[in-house]
Amino acid sequence: MKVAAIQMVSCTRPEHNLRAAHALLTEAAQGGAELAVLPEYFCIMGRRDTDKLALQEPLGHGPIQDWLAATARELGLWLVGGTLPLALDADDPRAAEGAKCRNASLAFAPTGERVAAYDKIHLFKFDDGSRTYDEAAVLVPGATPTRFELPSRDGHRWNVGMSVCYDLRFPELYRAHAAQGADLLLVPSAFTYVTGQAHWELLLRARAVENLSGVIAAAQGGVHENGRRTWGHSMVIDPWGSVLAQRPEGPGVVLAELEPAALRARRAQLPALDHRVLG
């Protein structure tokens, strides 16, 4: 199956970001991709963390969700919409405050049907004295690992485990996916430059190797209007930990082929998933 990791440098204007994403997704589809993954915050990188609150939508309908469904249908793609801000459920006591939302990754089939919704579980916090981030100030964490099934044109039924950015540092999430049969892991992200330079590729390849799974990591990659610099290096990794393709910085499409036969062979050669004793 040919897959695409979409790298963006999203700005503060959602309409501009959607046009840019559409162009990149069109390129991916024309390149033969069956599955395309957008980065975290593909629809907005605001000047302030609270800017995303104005864009929050209820799960099921809204301009960004409608755009994702229509684009998947138009291009005939399995499409994972990096993340977008979703409103809290009406029965959530925090909903009335309107001061927090969910950071959600949504997956759509080529028919335009939404097949999965995952709320980012682990919320990033970082302070090195000059840069400070605290996603919990605006976001509410999810609690449920989420997977979906993707029947590719080659006849393989991929079991796809979802995650987002900071989740990458918590191997237990990916082990939970693998324990439920996941053979492809998605990591839409907006890694900071400093943490990405130190740990991004290392962590991605580790998640691939320890779970004998393919990995698609779609990232923000460049200097944004708000002054933030993201690491980029979107990549596709095979189950042996080899980087099949990547893009260091700037908007673009990372295309690579994931082979079900190679996946089966690696798992047969090294049945590590069957040798687990703890957890």
**Any catalytic annotation for residue 165?**
yes
**Any catalytic annotation for residue 40?**
yes
Catalytic residue among 2, 101, 165, 249: 165
pLDDT of residue 98: 63
Rounded to 5 degrees, φ, ψ at 138 are: -125, -25
pTM of the model: 0.97
**CA 233 to CA 63: how far, in whole Å?**
29
Total count of domains within the chain = 1
Residue 95 has pLDDT above 80, yes or no: no
Catalytic residue among 34, 40, 135, 249: 40
pLDDT of residue 278: 85
**CA 161 to CA 149: how far, in whole Å?**
9
Asked if 195 and 155 count as a contact pair (C-beta separation under 8 A), the reply is no
**Any catalytic annotation for residue 120?**
yes
pLDDT of residue 172: 98
Residue 206 has pLDDT above 90, yes or no: yes
**CA 147 to CA 197: how far, in whole Å?**
29
- SS3 string, 38-68, reads CCCCCCCCCCCHHHHHHHCECCCCCHHHHHH
Report which residue type is found at 270: L
Catalytic residue among 2, 120, 135, 249: 120
Report in angstroms the alpha-carbon separations of 171 from 136, 178, 205, 209, 211. Answer: 21, 11, 12, 11, 9
pLDDT per position as a tens digit, 137-193: 999 999 999 999 999 999 999 999 999 999 999 999 999 999 999 999 999 999 999
**CA 184 to CA 232: how far, in whole Å?**
20
* Domain boundaries, position 270: 2-275
- CATH number for the domain spanning 204: value is 3.60.110.10
Among 117, 49, 50, 111, which Cα is nearest to 81's? 117
